Amino acid sequence: MADPKKPRPAFAPWDRRELPGAFTVEESARRVGHYKWVEMRLFEALGGWVATVPELDVKMRLGTHTYKHAWHAELWHKRLPELREMNPERLTQPANDDVVAFFDAMTEPEAPGETIEKLVGVYRVLIPHKIAAYTYHLNNTSQITDAPTIRSLRHALDDEFEDWRDGEMLIQSLIDTEEEVERAAAHQAQLEAILVRGGGIAGKGSIG
């Protein structure tokens, strides 16, 4: 019979998770606030394009993706009060001015003939950066004290990888000429430079 007075280890022998993570509560809340802002802006961008892109298959896929990002924003909104006793709206902000400039440039193409540019900005630049930031956060936070954030990150990453694949297939289906290849590459380089200057979606520490 086990001795109830005998001290027991904090973790079971089959559980070797470490308690500390790489982020303080304040840092985690700051990052989650940036994530929420990005998801909200992406939701707005895709929702606006649904009404303007002429390609029906693109329109339908963007409509599906739009609500995933709305749900992600809701996940982060609900997580913020648990991370820090503050108004979530105060933490919902871009990481820096370069991230704002990136979204302005990403949403600048508005003409019906600029579907390639629209998709490149989201699926070849923004979503890969989101995947990188979310993965870094997932791999460096505490599995015990930050378990709810880990759960949200995993749900979001599942959607991001699926949407990344869909978006890339749409882009490839639209690019038929060398001129269109150059258009896509030029727009990608322009946007990538802005986001790299900002350090990623969560600022200079996006991936460490």
CATH number at residue 48: 1.20.1260.10
| pLDDT (0 to 100) of residue 170 | 98
Write the pLDDT tens digit of every residue in 15-33. Answer: 555 667 888 888 999 999 9
What does the pLDDT read at residue 135? 95
Task: Show the CA angle centred on residue 78, arms to residues 121 and 28, nearest 5°.
Answer: 70
What number is the average pLDDT over the span 6-23?
Answer: 69
- Quote the number of domains for the chain: 1
Question: Could you give the count of Cα atoms lying within 13 Å of 3 in the half-sphere of its Cβ?
Answer: 4
- Per-residue confidence (pLDDT) for residue 14, from 0 to 100: 60
What pTM, to 2 d.p., does this model score? 0.90
The predicted-structure confidence for 182-199, as pLDDT tens digits, reads as follows 999 999 999 999 999 999
Identity (one letter) of the amino acid at 33? Answer: G
CA proximity to 116, closest of 162, 176, 71, 60:
176
Specify if 11 maps to a domain. Answer: no
What is the spatial distance between Cα 14 and Cα 141, in angstroms, rounded to a whole number?
Answer: 20
Per the CB < 8 A criterion, the answer to whether 39 and 76 are in contact is yes
Range of the domain at 115: 25-198
Does residue 20 form part of some domain?
no
- In 3-state terms the chain splits into helix, strand, coil percentages (rounded to 5) of 70, 0, 30
Query: Does 83 map to a domain?
Result: yes
Q: What is the mean pLDDT of residues 54-63?
A: 97
In the chain, the percentage of residues whose pLDDT exceeds 90 is 75
Judge whether 52 lies within some domain: yes
